[in-house]
Structure 1
Amino acid sequence: MPNTRFILYHKQATSARVLFLRLNGTVCQFDGLPESSQVVESSLEGEVVTGLDEAIAHAEQKLNLATGSLKIETEFWAKVDSPETPINVYLAQFTTTDAPHQEIADLEGKFIAITEGRSLPPVELELLRLVYSFLMDG
């Protein structure tokens, strides 16, 4: 799915601490976003996202995770305008009790808090702001 990206997060059940997967310098998995991209539209409720089961299964495989380790947030979606083509950005949650830190470290990635994303491109910071708002309001 070349025009699809996922922001993957883990929310600790007891503390509600939210961590985002940063891999290969991006929180938009798996190919990042072109430099001059901009968020042009988003839906935080109402529209229900469907048809991403195969993409989520592919993401689990790519991250060496067990089936069912990721769950799509069906009420979040954003459209990013890029120089080549529009890109749809979806949100998925790690379903494990604890974030899979070791599995991600093996891939040279890490989980970051939103405050650790300062060096990300502006479009990714905007997406994280939208996601964080969605998660805290939900």
Structure 2
Amino acid sequence: MTQLSTFSQHRLLLYYKGDISALTLFAQHGNGSVCFPEPLPVLAEILEAEHAESGKVSRHPAMLVNVINQLLHLDNDLLRIEPGFSEHVNNPGGIITVHMARFMLLDPPHKLMQSRQCRMRTLPELRGRPQVEMELLRRAYVKVMES
């Protein structure tokens, strides 16, 4: 199994939140997507909780972080899974589960992510992304602000 095949039914949103300022930034891939390691399929749409499959065996989100660390050449302690965030997206190939991981740094990782052809963006800077990504970002932002 290749690293990318690990993500055939999974994606991660990567974010930074300043502990003092509450500045919240989301990582945006060089291809424009906020989903890592690759964008969601074009026909993807959010599934509400009552329509998501339950009881299905799935990968633990920490394993997904390990793969992202390898793909982006990040230190193993740089990202931490955000507990309680799991959104389901429907697409013709099946359901994709989207998790969220937080950068565990004092300062935003702008230079680090730029060196990986990615950028750290605020929500207003991400306007114009596909509707499914904007809804994922909205839900992620609510989760971040509530925690």
TM-score (norm 1): 0.89
CA-CA distance at 1:34 after TM superposition: 1.1
Structure-2 separation of matches of 1:42 and 1:91: 17
Cα 1:42–1:100 change in 2 (3 A) is: farther
1:66-88 deviation line (CA, Å, top 9, x unaligned)? 11100001211000001211100
Structure-2 separation of matches of 1:101 and 1:61: 19
AA in 2 matched with 1:120: R
Structure-2 separation of matches of 1:78 and 1:59: 18
Maintained 8 Å contact 1:42/1:77: no
1:17 aligns to 2:23 (yes or no): yes
1:39-80 deviation line (CA, Å, top 9, x unaligned)? 10359xxxxx98222221111122221111000012110000
Aligned length: 133
Structure-1 separation of matches of 2:141 and 2:44: 20
Maintained 8 Å contact 2:14/2:100: yes
1:37 aligns to 2:15 (yes or no): no
1:125 aligns to 2:131 (yes or no): no
Structure-2 separation of matches of 1:50 and 1:36: 23
Structure-2 separation of matches of 1:92 and 1:74: 9
Residue 5 (structure 1) aligns with: 11
The root-mean-square deviation of aligned C-alpha atoms, in Å, is 1.8
Structure-2 separation of matches of 1:132 and 1:58: 24
The within-5 A match list for 1:1-138 is 1=6, 2-23=8-29, 24-42=31-49, 51-138=60-147
Maintained 8 Å contact 2:80/2:102: yes
Structure-2 separation of matches of 1:67 and 1:128: 24
Q: Secondary structure at the match of 1:86?
A: strand
CA-CA distance at 1:31 after TM superposition: 1.2
Structure-1 separation of matches of 2:134 and 2:74: 26
Structure-2 separation of matches of 1:102 and 1:42: 36
- Runs of 4 or more off by more than 6 Å in structure 1? none
Cα 1:50–1:135 change in 2 (3 A) is: farther
